Chain A
Amino acid sequence: MDGKCLIAIPELCTGCNRCAYMCSALKTNKFSPYNALIKTHNFSLNGFSVPNVCYHCESPDCLKACPEEAIIKDETTGIVTVDEELCTGCGECVAKCPYGMIELNSEKIAKKCNLCDGDPACVKECNFGAIIFEEPDREMKKEINAHRRIRIEGKSAENKRHQRSQTILENNRKL
């Protein structure tokens, strides 16, 4: 994947949620944004939306937390995936991901983004350039790292994402 990563640019996100419609359509064969693996959090009062994406961390907290070794990081592509056969649905990964980007589905199996095996559909679906898949330059890397430093513990996945998104909004409006 040549150092490419999935990058969210909240200032360009309009909250249309097409990314989540497409993600759920491809992953679940139904339209169900709630079950999508990309999550947009919206602040309509402030006119701001934050697409939350999995960073496929170098040293993933979800992977380290899994007692079944059901979470795997592909050494070549860097993509972090769940082996559904091995997952017991204990939820340790959900608790440990500081970004709220892994959750149990209705069948109690951990679900997370797999970058569509290296060709993310959400990127193609975004008409506003708010989700891109590319090798970040220096400036962009700084921005991503600033977002990644916003780590939340001890809350539900949805609340972690909300709190992170809220912080990103506040930082953005300070500028």
Chain B
Amino acid sequence: MNLYAGKILFVDLTKNTITSEPIKEEWLKDYIGCWGLGLRYFYDLVDPEVDPLSPENAVVVMTGPLGGTNTPLSARFALISKSPQTGTVFESNTGGAFAPELKFAGYDGIIITGKASKLSYIKIDDNKVSIEDASDMAGDGIFNTEIKLKEAIESHEAKTLSIGPAGENCVPYACIGTETYRQMGRGGGGALFGSKNLKGIVCRGTGSIKVSDMKSFLSLIENYKNTSVLHEDNLWAKTDGTPMLMDVTCEMGIHPTRNFTYGINEDVEKINSETMKKFKIGDRACATCLFACGKYTHVNGSEMEGPEYETLVLGGSNCGINDLETIIIFNRLCDDLGLDTISCGNVIGLAMDLAEKGRKDFNLKFGEVSEYLKVITEIAQLSTERGKILSEGSRQMAEKYNSHDLTTEVKGMEFPAYDPRGSYGMGINYAMSERGACHMRAFTAFEEEVFDIEKMAQAVVGGQNFNTAKWSTGLCDVWANSTLEILADIMSNGLGEEIKTEDLEIAGERIWNLTRLFNLKAGLTADDDSLPRKMTQAIQKGPYDGNVFSDEDFNKAKAMFYEMRGWDENGIPSKEKLAELGLDQI
């Protein structure tokens, strides 16, 4: 087979069985790979009403058709499952080099079901696959687990996915780590591994991926590399990486500061890209990347790849922490213990706000370092009362302290680092995402007319369809001027058969609608497509001082979004839409 490895691995941890099956070729055109293909397998396998942390839930890890080739920035892959954080089906993707490694071992994806009787890991040594005892890794952080997994397979160049104590303890915002500093961060993938007694996966692949005509493929890639990827608009990734956004979002007035109270951080220069550059000692890339947006940073003996923009804001500005070394320590702890930095920064910021408002004192105060760093381990290990409370997430904390006015979450997933009160498109994006507040589904922050409800609703629909198709190939967002036309061209060349741009366009819409169908069956209603109360209170400071995203405006946007999607007023896809997408028989 060209572009695909051709096989899917099925691991049943309850029965302790491993099988492989040829990839369902009849699904490839409609669902592509990664999110789309993973979702298609998941949809067939899992009852939408399943308890996410039960053995009956499945975890699908899926690569895309471009992974394993030298298509620039093509090494991303997806995890699809029902989220313990939101109760919806969700997709989480990351880069690194695990995806190509898995394909070189001969598999496009892994479908994991059941629950192991003791802590285990999956070992994939080309076609030799086994379930192994991971008891000696119990309680280990991700950094140490990666080392042990590589020792177990006797290859330092093996690639891994693993969880830390947060995942083992099923913290709903526990992440899965790979290549030390990269994560499937959002939606609780780590808790899903933990619920299955799965500490990690280690993979070594010595095989290959084929294309239809290598000479022609290489020449096509060389052409896109020079005419599109290395475009000057993308070069920020090489020079600055995502911290570039620190100053930008402050200027825009959408920079979450002190639990989303302010729209700017007046001390941003202490933790912005210019400051990070003074401490940078290296650039780090995912497989096949031309930019290396990961900035390896060293401050006073604390070092890591990062921090990235989201972590600088949520762990920094949002907690009143304006010291780069402290944020590095926060970030390393989260990466090692296996916590999503976005949710973790939100939750700690909320706890600090609850204290400031006199509603509950967690001994956490804006800007105070020592307890802020201490509580991270307490959350991951559930080792203290406050650690347990914070581990449940913002929504549960709001319930407990009658504080829904202070939280920033959608469907139980905390906000990323763009305040919707200064960028309505991002608010619509958060509210309409399948997995709760996610900035990636349709990134509208840099659109013109961010307060034009109709244009923003349209931008969100378009962004969701485009990204869903693009991510299903395995491509990264940093190739920002990539188009479905380019991706169809590369896929057609590699496969040796024509993929039309329209095929990819409609695949994006199909995948989004199938996600919706699952979520409706899981119990999601239109009421869940909403924004938190805080958005109706004024943001303070910056260019949008005093702005709100009113219920009236939001509800208008929501109605337009549903209509543009071909969904009724309850957010249910029409029969005509489903028929158009070939989803009426599913």
Contacts and interface: CB of A to CB of B under 8 A. Distances in A.
Interface stretch (B279-287, B398-406, B520-528): B279-287
A34 B70 contact: no
A16 B157 CA distance: 13
A72 to B, nearest CB: 27
A158 B155 contact: yes
Nearest to B96: A44
B179 interface: yes
A25 interface: yes
A94 B292 CA distance: 33
A24 B303 CA distance: 34
Contacts of B296: 47-48
A15 B288 CA distance: 9
A162 B150 CA distance: 13
A40 to B, nearest CB: 9
B303 A15 contact: no
Interface stretch (B165-173, B209-217, B539-547): B209-217
Output the residue of A30, A47, A128 with the most chain B CB within 10 A. A47
Give the interface size class of chain A: 20 to 34
Contacts, number: 95
A44 B305 CA distance: 8
B206 A34 contact: yes
A24 B211 CA distance: 13
A81 interface: no
A18 B303 contact: no
Contacts of A30: 208-211, 214
Given A31-B70, A41-B156, A16 B290 contact: yes
Nearest to A30: B208
Nearest to B209: A31
Interface in B192-236: 205-211, 214, 218, 230
Chain B contact surface mostly: loop
B218 A25 contact: yes
Contacts of B211: 30-31
B282 A32 contact: no
Interface in A106-145: 127-128
Interface string A5-30: 00000010011111001101100111
B86 interface: no
B300 to A, nearest CB: 15
A87 to B, nearest CB: 20
Nearest to A159: B156
A33 interface: yes
Contacts of B210: 30-31
A32 B105 CA distance: 10
B35 interface: no
B156 A45 contact: no
Output the residue of A11, A22, A28, A34 with the most chain B CB within 10 A. A34
Nearest to A21: B70
Contacts of B205: 34
Interface of B: 68-70, 97, 100, 104, 143, 146-147, 155-157, 179-181, 205-211, 214, 218, 230, 281-290, 292, 294, 296, 303-305
6 contacts: A16-B287, A31-B69, A31-B70, A31-B210, A127-B290, A128-B292
Given A44-B146, A45-B143, 6 more contacts: A11-B282, A14-B283, A16-B287, A18-B70, A47-B181, A47-B303
- For the complex of A and B, the 7 pairs showing the least CB-CB separation, nearest first, are A47-B296, A32-B208, A30-B208, A16-B285, A14-B285, A14-B292, A44-B180
